[in-house]
A = this chain, B = another copy of it.
Amino acid sequence: MKDEVQNPEKVTIPGKTIYRFSTYNRCLIRLSENSLDTVSSSTLAKAAGVNPAQLRRDLNYLGQFGTRGLGYPIAELKEAIQQVLGRQHLQPVILVGAGNLGSALLRYQGFQKEGFEVVAAFDALPELVVSRDIGVPVFHMDSLSEVMRREKARLAILCVPAEHAQEAANDLVDAGIEGILSFSPIILQVPDSVMVNSVDLAMELEQLSFFVRRED
């Protein structure tokens, strides 16, 4: 995870804190559905699965939001976190590799709900992609930079097979991508200016497998 380059002249917020902001945001959304207006650090911390002291320290990066003896105002807090996360507006995202996993992600509603919109998909063989239910156009990789510019997309979801992942990443970099969420089980080599976030499903299972095993 990179926690470099941020808003200058403001205190830089640690990457791990940003990550937890996302979690807090989720919890706050659920809390605000239950018509409460304040929440204490211990309550929110339990919901988020963190230590109360850590929560307070994280929230202090937003300025002083809490009221001593009372807690934090849920609505304002949520607002402030979403402001920091840059989640006020819908973000356009493209998807590269509409195979098994890729086309599933296109159908998956999770992104839409959270402020991201997949505006276009790309594949090396777009004519083979079963476009039923997909709801976004599938282009050939050749039109990547053209479509990216038109749609003003800065983020990409990459789900091509390992063998072609680096190649596709190169194309994305050439087209001016700024961030890649990769599902390929390899370490992508990209310029420092491009941020890569990698989700490796088999690796996550492997972790579980390790920590679960006790006696065999």
Beyond A109-B100, A187-B48, whether A116 also contacts B210 by CB under 8 A is no
* Chain B residues, CB < 8 A from A116: 202, 205, 209
| Contact (Cβ within 8 A) B179 A212 | yes
Q: Which of A5, A87, A100 has the largest count of B CB atoms less than 10 A from its CB?
A: A100
* Chain B residues, CB < 8 A from A208: 155, 179-181, 195, 197
* Chain B residues, CB < 8 A from A26: 185-186
Residue A135 at the chain B interface, CB threshold 8 Å: no
| Contact (Cβ within 8 A) A213 B86 | yes
Residue A113 at the chain B interface, CB threshold 8 Å: yes
Beyond A85-B206, A93-B205, A100-B104, whether A179 also contacts B211 by CB under 8 A is yes
| Contact (Cβ within 8 A) B181 A205 | yes
| Contact (Cβ within 8 A) B199 A212 | no
Measured CB to CB, the closest approach of chain B to A162, in angstroms, equals 9
Residue A27 at the chain B interface, CB threshold 8 Å: yes
26 A-B pairs within 8 Å (CB atoms) are namely: A2-B211, A18-B211, A23-B187, A26-B186, A27-B187, A30-B186, A47-B187, A85-B206, A86-B216, A91-B205, A93-B205, A100-B104, A103-B104, A104-B107, A105-B201, A110-B201, A113-B202, A114-B205, A116-B202, A155-B205, A179-B209, A180-B208, A181-B201, A181-B205, A195-B212, A199-B204
